[in-house]
């Protein structure tokens, strides 16, 4: 949809999308609306016929026939019942159509979020994405509710206009002069409302983002005493949104009564002219009543069309914002190769890898290394040397700018969708837990026996504290696992990766909040070395994985357990080899790995590899 398209044309284009997707529901609701419209016009005919054949004769003769009275009552009741059926069909169809389109669009937006690479998500705030999937979707399909009514009432208006012309040509022409005024009023309204409606939708996204950041950073906000500043930031943005919505509301408040008043003014003019025509004998009183009533009938279609057109500014803005997500590029292409299988660890090969967040500023360059099955490699480097970025490339959260990554000889770009996840698991720096049970956080809904869940928890050294929880695996952890410590959250996150039995496990500083002794036991278990856990159903049990490990590490105790260390600086591997050899020959490496002890004033014991 072009940005230059007029609001009315763009609004009807949005509705056409919904009609094409839900033709049968739209047809049902439109038939109901047509039935309602036709019978509303029929009321005018019944009223006019009753005036000429029942009301006026009753005044003239002083009596009314029982048969005519029952006929009139029967006509009015029959029309009312059929009109009620039309209303039910119209409203039910419109509601079903609207909610189906909202559900369909939300699913499409969510699928698109999942298919787009992390490079796209890094450029779009979470609050904006939430707004796209919620308020923008609702705004986009807002006009569906009055759509069937507007379509049916257009037919009603055409029937009414024809009947008015048949009843009295002069009075009909006088009454229909209201239509140019209605069109002009709508054009002015849309031009005034479009800009503010656009601004309001954008502010909703910005307000959602502020709220999301404040909730995510609640601990930081409270511990640093920033509640007043965060409240003021939210208040200021909410005030902007309020003002934008008030501007739209004021414009709409002036538009709706104006639109409702114009047909009523036309009715008054018709009655004035009609009385004079009846006095002069140019028309009958019944015709004047019919035309006047039909004008009130016509005013309803005008209002319903106004309701429809009044929704267009927000609808067009919401649809364009949603459509921008659905048209976003950057989705990853997948091959047809099946995931490589095997019991032992996977072989990882990185060849001439390069990547940068900005084209002219590469973050990683010329990376080439191999990790043999079952071996452990530690990635060591100063902050911003590209270690975490490398882990996202190894798991193909983003694609490399140059070079290849192969698992068991297969280029990860040639694997089928989901194939890499069957072989590789990553535990990120920040452990994210859902507001779910321990079991739900470890399995993520997969059908995994409890015995395997406990085995993963044992390897992650989490079985002890999980067994001590009030309900064990069924204990709910709260949003983001707030009921657990940082180290406990990290171990649950690690167990989540281990329960999938990955052949290649990537740890991005995933044990930073765990004390060195527990960390050593975790890494020993990950390397496949016997490690007896203390607690958990079934008693002590040896846990081994045999996975190939790539570990982003800072502590000497962690680094020393690796078979090989890759020392990164400025996005390149500047040295490699066993930890002891690097300490002896590379002063920069020795300075870096000793920095932790120097800064904290408490040297660590270096665990034997």
* 482 occurs within a structural domain: yes
For 445-463, write each residue's pLDDT tens digit: 888 888 888 888 888 888 8
Give the integer Cα–Cα distance in Å for 353 and 565: 18
Give the integer Cα–Cα distance in Å for 530 and 166: 98
**Shared-domain flag, residues 365 and 461:** yes
Strands 410-411 and 402-407: antiparallel
Give me the sign of the Cα torsion angle 556, 562, 568, 574: positive
**Shared-domain flag, residues 74 and 136:** yes
**Shared-domain flag, residues 505 and 558:** yes
pTM higher than 0.75 for the full model?
A: no
Q: Enumerate residues 6+ apart whose C-beta is below 8 A from 608.
A: 560
Ordered strands of the 504-508 beta sheet: 424-427, 504-508, 548-552, 376-381, 564-569, 572-577
* 342 occurs within a structural domain: no
- From 326, 341, 376, the end of a domain falls on 326
Give the integer Cα–Cα distance in Å for 112 and 516: 41
| b/e code 182-213 from CB counts within 10 Å (16+ = b) | beebbeebbebbbebbbbbbbbbbbbbbbbbb
- Look up the domain containing 136 and give its range: 7-326
For 526-554, write each residue's pLDDT tens digit: 666 544 444 344 433 333 457 888 888 87
**Shared-domain flag, residues 319 and 361:** no
- From 282, 307, 326, the end of a domain falls on 326
**Shared-domain flag, residues 289 and 409:** no
**Shared-domain flag, residues 217 and 364:** no
* 2 occurs within a structural domain: no
CATH of the domain at 396: 3.40.50.300
Give the integer Cα–Cα distance in Å for 93 and 543: 59
* 339 occurs within a structural domain: no
**Shared-domain flag, residues 302 and 424:** no
Give the integer Cα–Cα distance in Å for 524 and 186: 73
- From 307, 326, 345, the end of a domain falls on 326
Strands 402-407 and 376-381: unpaired
**Shared-domain flag, residues 279 and 378:** no
**Shared-domain flag, residues 283 and 387:** no
The domain total for the chain is 2
* 227 occurs within a structural domain: yes
Q: Give 517's Cβ-side CA count (13 Å radius).
A: 0
CATH of the domain at 174: 1.20.1560.10
For 305-331, write each residue's pLDDT tens digit: 766 776 777 788 788 888 888 888 766
Q: Are 567 and 531 in contact (CB under 8 A)?
A: no
**Shared-domain flag, residues 492 and 559:** yes
Candidates 32, 42, 34; CA nearest to 294 is: 42
* 388 occurs within a structural domain: yes
Q: Could you tell me where the DSSP H helices lie in 281-354?
A: 285-326
Give the integer Cα–Cα distance in Å for 244 and 250: 10
* 529 occurs within a structural domain: yes
**Shared-domain flag, residues 61 and 191:** yes
Q: Are 362 and 401 in contact (CB under 8 A)?
A: yes
Instruction: Enter the tokens of residue 479.
Output: 């949003």
**Shared-domain flag, residues 307 and 416:** no
* 525 occurs within a structural domain: yes
For 490-528, write each residue's pLDDT tens digit: 888 888 888 888 888 888 877 666 666 677 777 767 666
For 197-231, write each residue's pLDDT tens digit: 777 777 877 787 787 777 767 767 777 777 888 88
């Amino acid at each position: 949809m072009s940005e230059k398209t007029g609001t009315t044309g763009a609004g009807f284009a949005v509705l056409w999308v919904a009609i094409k997707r839900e033709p049968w529901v739209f047809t049902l609701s439109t038939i109901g609306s047509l039935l309602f419209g036709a019978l509303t016009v029929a009321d005018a005919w019944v009223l006019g016929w009753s005036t000429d054949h029942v009301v006026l004769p009753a005044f003239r003769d002083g009596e009314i026939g029982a048969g005519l009275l029952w006929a009139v009552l029967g006509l009015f009741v029959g029309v009312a019942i059929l009109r009620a059926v039309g209303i039910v069909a119209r409203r039910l169809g419109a509601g079903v159509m609207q909610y189906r389109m909202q559900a369909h669009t939300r699913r499409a937006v969510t699928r698109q979020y999942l298919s787009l690479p992390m490079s796209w998500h890094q450029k779009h705030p979470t609050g904006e994405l939430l707004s796209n999937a919620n308020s923008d979707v609702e705004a986009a399909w807002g006009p569906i509710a009055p759509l069937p009514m507007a379509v049916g009432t257009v037919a009603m208006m055409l029937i009414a206009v024809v009947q008015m012309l048949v009843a009295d040509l002069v009075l009909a022409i006088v009454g229909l002069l209201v239509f140019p005024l209605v069109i002009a009023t709508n054009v002015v309204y849309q031009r005034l409302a479009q800009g503010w409606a656009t601004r309001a939708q954008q502010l909703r996204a910005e307000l959602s983002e502020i709220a999301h950041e404040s909730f995510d950073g609640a601990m930081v906000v409270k511990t640093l005493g920033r509640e007043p500043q965060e409240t003021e930031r939210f208040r200021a943005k909410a005030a902007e949104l309020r003002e934008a919505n008030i501007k739209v509301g004021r414009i709409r408040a002036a538009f709706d009564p104006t639109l409702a008043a114009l047909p009523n003014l036309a009715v008054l003019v018709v009655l004035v002219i009609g009385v004079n025509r009846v006095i002069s004998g140019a028309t009958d009183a019944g015709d004047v009543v019919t035309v006047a009533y039909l004008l009130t009938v016509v005013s309803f279609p005008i209002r319903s069309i106004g309701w429809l057109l009044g929704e267009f500014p927000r609808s067009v803005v919401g649809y364009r914002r949603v459509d921008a997500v659905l048209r976003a590029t950057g989705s990853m292409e997948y091959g047809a190769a099946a995931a490589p299988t095997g019991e032992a660890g996977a072989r990882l090969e990185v060849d001439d890898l390069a990547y940068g967040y900005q084209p002219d500023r590469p973050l990683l360059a010329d990376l080439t290394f191999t990790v043999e099955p079952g071996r452990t490699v530690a990635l060591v480097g100063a902050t911003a040397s590209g270690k975490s970025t490398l882990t996202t490339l190894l798991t193909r959260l983003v694609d490399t700018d140059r070079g290849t990554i192969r698992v068991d000889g297969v280029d990860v770009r040639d694997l089928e969708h989901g194939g890499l996840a069957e072989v590789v698991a990553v535990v990120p720096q920040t452990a994210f837990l859902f507001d779910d049970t321990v079991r739900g956080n470890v399995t993520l809904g997969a059908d995994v026996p409890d015995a395997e869940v406990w085995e993963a928890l044992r390897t992650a050294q989490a079985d002890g504290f999980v067994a001590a929880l009030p309900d064990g695996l069924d204990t709910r952890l709260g949003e983001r696992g707030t009921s657990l410590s940082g180290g406990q959250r990290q171990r649950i996150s690690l167990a989540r990766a281990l329960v999938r039995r990955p052949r290649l496990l990537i740890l991005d500083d995933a044990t930073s909040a765990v004390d060195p002794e527990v960390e050593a036991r975790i890494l020993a278990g990950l390397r496949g070395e016997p490690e007896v856990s203390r607690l958990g159903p079934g008693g002590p049990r040896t846990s081994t994985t045999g996975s190939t490990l790539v570990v982003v590490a800072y502590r000497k105790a962690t680094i020393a357990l690796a078979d090989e260390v890759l020392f990164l600086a400025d996005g390149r591997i500047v040295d490699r080899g066993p930890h002891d050899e690097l300490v002896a020959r590379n002063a920069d490496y020795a300075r870096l790995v000793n920095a932790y002890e120097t800064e904290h004033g408490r040297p660590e014991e270096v665990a034997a590899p």
